[in-house]
Structure 1
Amino acid sequence: MNTTQVVSLQQLTKKIGSKTIVDGLTFEVYPGEVFGFLGPNGAGKTTTIRMMVGLMSITEGEVTIQGRSVKRQFEEAMVHVGAIVENPEFYGFMSGYQNLMHFARMMPNVNKDRIDEVVKLVRLENRIHDKVKTYSLGMRQRLGVAQAILHRPSVLVLDEPTNGLDPEGIRELRDYLRELSRVEGLAVIVSSHLLSEMELMCDRVAIIQNGKLLDVRSFKEAPTETEKVEVSFEVGQLDAALELMEDGMLVKAEGAELVVLLANRREAVAAFNARLVEAGIHVFAIRAMTKTLEDQFLEVTRGNRIV
């Protein structure tokens, strides 16, 4: 991953009267990554995004995009941004292509070749010349992304883009956002309250609750070989297996499941399995106990649920 940040939030705060909606958010987003902004409804996600793209004033703190301050260098900063906040809007009586042409006339250095390129990226080649009023919600979302990236921005910001989409539409959106981040080198920022989709879509996710940043988690960082991981063994003789435990190894023993801490190496799992088999213990299944995003969310929010 490119280590030159595209977007930087430093102590970003929004107050309305005596109420603090967003409270001191600080994080960075880098080129080529899909960055998730996760939190329950009312956590401050949309308010943060509105401040990032200049639709709402900043009370305290700073947002910089490609080194330009949104507060002090607004136009220079926004040149690098493509965004869909809430729903994309188009002229329904015009085709998708005509809508893109209309938008392209307002932007410098956007030609027909670029329009054809983004249409292909969002996979609308077969319907781009149909009237937008005939488009499904998923197709409108794709056309919105095409419009947002026409001018080759450095960052694409999407606020709850999966709202209202069916499972197929959500999967299509996920696939081409990942492709955009790879092909265009875009930093993609996606807000959502859907845990499962964020886990499948994002490289990293910031967890926000009550306007505060609780944690930033990466899905790409695997444990090192010096760390220990939890591994579950489904065994036939649990009592006999417990006799093989060494200090600090046992995590859980329940029913037929034995969960143990082992070094993060395949050899360590194979060696412990061999010990079980040599002791005459039947092993029916082995699996790594990786934490889902839901587990991590509940861990950092101390069990408070997304609503």
Structure 2
Amino acid sequence: MILETKGLTKVYGKQEIVSGVDLQLEKGQIYGFLGPNGAGKTTTMRMILGLTKPAGGEILLFGKSLKTDRIQILKRIGSLIETPSFYSHLTGLENVRIAAKLYGVGDRKRVDDVFSLVRLEHAMHRKAGSYSLGMKQRLGLAMALIHKPELLILDEPTNGLDPEGIQEMRDLIKNMPSIMNTTVLVSSHLLSEVEQMATNVGIIHQGSMKFQGTMEELKKQNSGHLLIRTNDPERAWSTLKEKGFIVKLQGDQLKISDARPEIIQQIQQQLISNDVTILRMEEEKSSLEKMFMQMTKRENAS
């Protein structure tokens, strides 16, 4: 296990910002840490990096406790939290060389390689202060990658980028495990963004984890519902209701919340045996985006 948190908690004043978060990240994954703004994503990442102290819980990185092996652990991690930090009066190349020196990277070819990786070779001799927002993000990524980290932690790396910059950053992240053997934890408030690059996802809302698993497992939760049209809606409704199915009559069609194949087969058998003709049967699924919104729906103040 690359990263594991157990009951991770953070309190500011009397408010619990992060509440008992259990997060597991295995080698080779791109883990999308998903939640609305203010959900606790950045605070969790800052605790993982030792930038802020937890109120409770445990953080294990590479099987070791952050409390006892902090320096050795952080040498194996690259990060880009909030806005990238660099010297605007220096060139991109000079900034990356400083990062290389701090990490003890003496290989000059590595500096060239990392500029090529983030597609910034054309601007490496320009002052970093003149870079566009997308270029600054890629420079920050180059500095985070200079020492070939085993774990890369990125907080909302596409924020503020134009569509082209978003696509470039997404492609870079997707290639990290294969090109650099780097595992990635990346936060976002957009499901559509995470869906296009993550293998695994964790959904956090108001400091608590609402879901954790593979992207495929998340999609399976979106089972949808079944819509049925028959020649006799009233009779079909009463027949299925008597047999214990949870069914609603909406106009001239039936709506059933369980659309598993075995349930569909049972419904067909019951209607046919009661001389009800099925005119149309279809499964209707909500979008993943809608499901995400339901998971993170803010409760009305009571």
Pair 228,187 (structure 1): closer, same or farther in 2 beyond 3 Å: closer
One-letter amino acid matched to 1:53:
L
For structure 2, the 5+ residue unaligned runs are 266-276
Q: Name the residue aligned to 2:96.
A: 100
- In 2, Cα distance between the equivalents of 1:196 and 1:124? 26
- In 1, Cα distance between the equivalents of 2:70 and 2:9? 18
Q: Name the residue aligned to 2:64.
A: 68
Range moving further from structure 2, 91-100 or 207-216: 91-100
- In 2, Cα distance between the equivalents of 1:42 and 1:228? 25
Q: Name the residue aligned to 1:114.
A: 110
Pair 222,254 (structure 1): closer, same or farther in 2 beyond 3 Å: farther
- In 1, Cα distance between the equivalents of 2:169 and 2:12? 34
TM-score normalized with structure 2 length = 0.77
Q: Name the residue aligned to 1:261.
A: 259
Secondary structure at the aligned position of 2:121 is classed as coil
Pair 161,256 (structure 1): closer, same or farther in 2 beyond 3 Å: farther
The question of whether the paired residues in 2 share the 8 Å contact of 1:97 and 1:128 is answered with: yes
| Runs (4+) off by over 4 Å | 221-224, 227-233, 238-260, 302-305
- In 1, Cα distance between the equivalents of 2:126 and 2:251? 59
Residues 237-257 of structure 1, C-alpha deviations (whole Å, 9 max, x = no match): x54698999977999988999
Q: Name the residue aligned to 1:28.
A: 24
Pair 129,25 (structure 1): closer, same or farther in 2 beyond 3 Å: same
Q: Name the residue aligned to 2:182.
A: 186
Q: Name the residue aligned to 2:270.
A: none
The question of whether the paired residues in 2 share the 8 Å contact of 1:58 and 1:71 is answered with: no
One-letter amino acid matched to 1:261:
A
The question of whether the paired residues in 1 share the 8 Å contact of 2:191 and 2:292 is answered with: no
For structure 1, the 5+ residue unaligned runs are 269-278
1:220 lines up with 2:247 in the alignment: no
Q: 1:146 aligns with which of 137, 142, 148?
A: 142
- In 1, Cα distance between the equivalents of 2:249 and 2:200? 30
Pair 151,301 (structure 1): closer, same or farther in 2 beyond 3 Å: same
- In 2, Cα distance between the equivalents of 1:120 and 1:37? 27
CA RMSD of the aligned region, Å?
Answer: 3.6
- In 2, Cα distance between the equivalents of 1:20 and 1:7? 22
CA shift at 1:182, angstroms?
2.4
The question of whether the paired residues in 2 share the 8 Å contact of 1:24 and 1:61 is answered with: yes
- In 1, Cα distance between the equivalents of 2:177 and 2:122? 23
Percent identical among aligned pairs is 34
- In 2, Cα distance between the equivalents of 1:190 and 1:56? 18
TM-score normalized with structure 1 length = 0.76
